[in-house]
Structure 1
Amino acid sequence: MLNMNFRLCDYNPVTAAPESEDGCGTHTDYGTFTVIFQDGTAGLELEDSTAPSGWSPVPGDATVILTDWCVVILSGGKISAVRHRVRRSPGVRRLSAGLFLALDLDVRLQPLKGFEPVGRMSDAVMPGEMDVESLKEEMGQRWR
């Protein structure tokens, strides 16, 4: 019942916009947890939960575990998804590896028993009508 994907990310400085600081725009992942392994080069930033749109840089040698959208739903909103982004430094190549952990695509999502939602959740989520695949598709459309 666990879906794992491993992705290598190459933030190559040779791009169509070599002076741009954007390596990967602001987003949250759809799954359960994401583990990010970095090559020692800084660039990953986490949004400050106490100051939205404030960003905290992560040391380039840190391994990071992020909570994703499935955890938000399962916890009834008691746990938040971590918004993050990658900033590039012109002329500097950065490599990272991400291990994306999610429930199987056909698993229905709703708050776990004993987790009373702390806020409004969608009409599809509360009765368990949304599955992981639907959430992944919706998040993908927002990302594009």
Structure 2
Amino acid sequence: MNSLQVVDEGFSQVPLIDISALVSGKGDRLKVASEIGQACRECGFFYIVGHGVDEGLQQRLEQLSRQFFAQDLATKMAIPMALGGKAWRGYFPVGGELTSGKPDIKEGIYFGAELGNDHPLVQANTPMHGANLFPENIPLFRETVLEYMEAMTQLGHILMASIALSLRLEASYFAERYTSDPLTLFRIFNYPPDLSPADGKNRWGVGEHTDYGVLTILKQDNSGGLQVKSRSRWVAAPPIPGSFVCNIGDMLDRMTRGLYRSTPHRVQNISGCDRLSFPFFFDPNFDVEVKPIPLDGVITKDDRTERWDQSSVHDFQGTYGDYVLGKVSKVFPELRRTVLETTQ
């Protein structure tokens, strides 16, 4: 077996990959897997086209989301995250979410897999599991969001099988160990225009951060503003028609001992209009322990000096639930008691 080598050079743009062979089952899957593997090593981000997700569904999702965010604050606050409680669902206003302790210039709604009160995980009082909160005054919002989440979940399984192949593992590697019942989280964010930086300093819709799990699949509107951190500079990841932006998270970085990079990114909306963003997080099962994969020739290196938070994902021990709950309290400090302390 040939050794897998880390490519340590900076990148100047996010690569674009046609995954139609993965979706159709026809064509060279290994070629696509190789392209994805190269992107994960060099960039941690890649665009995908040929994904097969219905364009009409995406358009309905965007239209309904704009309708929701156009409402006054009191109406949107009918479904606050405080009401979602331990399930970690609902709406938060601009400034209600923190990144590195600083308020983001965005508002949003949090969703997850729709689970009833009779579900075993809900009955067990498991954090981040339960029913979603949907605006009752916008017809088809609920149905559209759940249909989109189902499409993203299926796409997540397809992409993780390809990522497994890119690591010279069986296509079923992640499904068998981590994602047969994935933790799926979906956000709809609205970034209001930020045309006047305070005190001459840049302000961020969301500041520099990495994602927590294994894979994020992002739908952008046409406003732009996403930036990805290369070794020596920030690289724009503008919207490309018909595409999604994918990036790997901390747990895949940990599993691959840093071979595949959980790359920092941020958003600044200077478009002059509202920016909609639809990140879908395809993550390990809440209760599974995340362990490094034995990869030939790959040695874990200390990544603290390179990471935005000066901490290493390779030091973490425990389940994915342990990891993500540790992050929750920093993103929404006011929910710490509801989400964390009541589960102790």
- 1:8 maps to 2:188: yes
Contact 1:27 1:143 in 2 (8 A): no
2:258 maps to a residue whose letter is G
Q: Does 1:71 align with 2:252?
A: yes
Q: Percent identity?
A: 23
Q: Once the 2 structures are TM-superposed, how far is the Cα of residue 91 of structure 1 from its aligned partner? A: 3.3
Q: Distance in 1 between matches of 2:262 and 2:331?
A: 15
Contact 1:32–1:102 (CA under 8 A) maintained in structure 2 = yes
CA distance in 2, matches of 1:117, 1:69: 17
Distance in 1, Cα, partners of 2:289 & 2:237: 33
Equivalent residues of 2:223, 2:269 under 8 A apart: no
Deviation at 1:55, TM superposition (A): 0.7
Q: Does 1:119 align with 2:301?
A: yes
Given that 1:108 and 1:131 are in contact with CA atoms closer than 8 Å, whether structure 2 keeps it comes out as: yes
CA distance in 2, matches of 1:85, 1:4: 22
Taking a change above 3 Å as real, the CA distance of residues 141 and 47 of structure 1, as seen in their structure-2 partners, is farther
Partner of 2:133: none
1:1-144 aligned within 5 A: 1-13=181-193, 19-20=196-197, 21-48=203-230, 50-51=231-232, 54-61=233-240, 62-89=243-270, 91-114=272-295, 116-120=298-302, 121-122=314-315, 124-125=316-317, 130-141=318-329, 143=331
Q: Which secondary structure does the structure 2 equivalent of 1:82 belong to?
A: coil
| Deviation of the 1:138 alpha carbon | 2.8
TM-score by length of 1: 0.80
Aligned-partner Cα distance in 2 for 1:114–1:90: 43
Taking structure 1 as reference, are residues 55 and 143 closer, same or farther at Cα in structure 2, changes over 3 Å only? farther
Quote the offset at 1:140 in angstroms: 3.5
Q: Root-mean-square deviation (CA), in Å? A: 2.2
Deviation at 1:77, TM superposition (A): 1.7
User: How far 1:143 moved relative to its partner?
Assistant: 4.9
> Hey, what's the Cα distance between the residues in 2 that align with 1:9 and 1:47?
21
Structure 1 residue runs of 5 or longer lacking an equivalent are none
Q: How far has the Cα of 1:32 moved from its partner? A: 0.5
Larger Rg: 2
- Structure number with the higher strand fraction is 1
How far apart, in 2, do the equivalents of 1:9 and 1:35 lie?
14
By percentage of residues, which structure has more helix? 2
Structure with bigger RCO (C-alpha 8 Å, 6+ apart):
1
Query: Whole-Å Cα distance in 2 between the matches of residues 78 and 138 of structure 1?
Result: 24
Q: TM-score, normalised by structure 2?
A: 0.36
The amino acid that maps onto 2:183 is: N
Q: Gaps spanning 5+ residues in structure 2: where?
A: 1-180, 198-202, 303-313, 333-344
Contact 1:47–1:83 (8 Å) recurs in 2: yes
Residue correspondences, number: 133
